[in-house]
Structure 1
Amino acid sequence: MIFGYMRISTQKEKQTTDRQRITLEQYATDNKFKFDELIEERISGTIKSESRPQFNILVNKLRKNDILIVTDIDRLGRNADDVIMEFKKLKAQDIRVIALDTPYLNEWEKVQDSSIYNMIADIFITLKAHMAQQEREKTIQRINQGLAVAKAKGKALGRPKVELPSNFVKEYKKFKDGTYGNMSAMSFAKMLGIGRSTLYKYIKILECKEA
């Protein structure tokens, strides 16, 4: 059987899968076949494939030697790693994926030959994984460059330092001296309008300064 999967990454009514549908149907016409089913999904592109309801319904319908066609390979997942994982899972089940935006994976005749398809699929997985790794390395490089620039400009990195409120030292001395009677730490924190964990953090900062 031949299935088509269409996804748009928004819930907005104005956006439709029309472009994808037309592209898929034109591909079917050009290659003289008909889809057994076209499945449409409206869901954010940030959602993993395994968490997409319609995609999961589709996967459960797929059987050995079935063909799944998408207009763009990235419709299979939320990022490169997700796409690779889904592609590998489908290949392991002897399901062939045709992606119209991907060279060689979009050639109908080549996909019909299992030995040629498997060779193309293995090359695609290798290239996609390499591209994903390169993208991760670029991201890390950009972050490191940003940190280096910030450091060069004298910007403090990490969490900002916690500063004691101007009245804390005076109020804490009163608390310690018994000016407020037998007030508990919790009541003292409430009086200052802070949480107990914040109170202890302030006390620790004060003790470090006085050490």
Structure 2
Amino acid sequence: MNARIYMRASTKEQDAYRAEQELTAFCKSKDITIVGKYVENYTGTSLKRPKLGMLLTESNADEVLLVESVDRLSRLSLEEWYQLKAIINKKGLRLIVADLPTTHTLISDDDLTSNILKIVNNMLLDLMATMARQDNDKRRERIKQGLANAKAQGKQVGGRSKNYAIREKVTRYIEKNLGAEEIAKLADCSVATVYRVKKEIQSAKQVCA
């Protein structure tokens, strides 16, 4: 059986390396052949991701789509999560989540077992995808609350010369775990601005804590 590994990591190379090592070992233990590895530095809240799109385009029916955990594949809204599942099912892929053991049974060709567990897995995947989205929303809300608390306490969270719209963009991209250089390009600002906003967010989190 062939597998395509999808890794959505932060910009730190060691994050992708760790996931790659663990998923490679998983495939070896299950006698699965890896035919593609896709590393994405992109937000899980977006359905349109370059590497994920490439994986889905290049994949073939009955191959395994292997991810480390559900939140690496999706922090999508429920509607978009259903869209992604529909694409995966249409391609005939077997979605295996390394830290969700019930999905490992889909590697088997036992029709009876697979049919029963498909129902269970579908429910678990929906639940975990919803939790991943909620976790992302809560994290964003904590950052906003921290900034508000910092302002209320008279702490500096932004100079007068700063462009508020740019700062909001930078904050959103930071929440998506993008790298400083990538954020600077997307927000049309300097790398120094990105690091300054990161420092402000960290300060706000400490106040919120």
* TM interval, short-chain normalised: 0.5 to 0.7
CA change 1:114–1:52 in 2 (3 A) is farther
C-alpha displacement of 1:80? 6.2
Which amino acid in 2 is paired with 1:5? Y
Distance 2:104 2:121 in 1: 12
In structure 2, the partner of 1:58 is 55
Distance 2:41 2:20 in 1: 14
CA change 1:84–1:100 in 2 (3 A) is farther
Count residues with an aligned counterpart.
132
Distance 1:103 1:80 in 2: 24
Is 1:77 matched up with 2:74?
A: yes
Distance 1:40 1:20 in 2: 10
CA change 1:100–1:83 in 2 (3 A) is farther
Which amino acid in 1 is paired with 2:57? N
CA change 1:33–1:85 in 2 (3 A) is same
CA change 1:118–1:53 in 2 (3 A) is farther
Distance 2:125 2:36 in 1: 28
The answer to whether the Cα contact below 8 Å between 1:5 and 1:38 also exists between their aligned partners in 2 is: yes
Identity percentage over the alignment? Answer: 20
In structure 2, the partner of 1:33 is 32
Distance 2:22 2:93 in 1: 21
Distance 2:35 2:59 in 1: 11
Distance 1:58 1:121 in 2: 22
C-alpha displacement of 1:45? 2.8
Which amino acid in 1 is paired with 2:51? Q
- TM-score computed with the length of structure 1 as normaliser: 0.52
- Write 1 or 2 for the structure with the bigger share of helix: 2
Provide structure 1 residue ranges, at least 5 long, that are not aligned to the other structure.
140-211
Which amino acid in 1 is paired with 2:72? R
C-alpha RMSD over aligned residues: 3.0
**Aligned residue among 92, 107, 123 for 1:126:** 123
The answer to whether the Cα contact below 8 Å between 2:6 and 2:38 also exists between their aligned partners in 1 is: yes
In structure 2, the partner of 1:179 is none
Distance 1:32 1:14 in 2: 27
Deviations 1:173-209 (A, max 9, x none): xxxxxxxxxxxxxxxxxxxxxxxxxxxxxxxxxxxxx
Larger Rg: 1 or 2? Answer: 1
In structure 2, the partner of 1:86 is 84
C-alpha displacement of 1:77? 1.7
Deviations 1:24-79 (A, max 9, x none): 11112212232011111111233x23x10011011001121121111112222223
In structure 2, the partner of 1:4 is 5
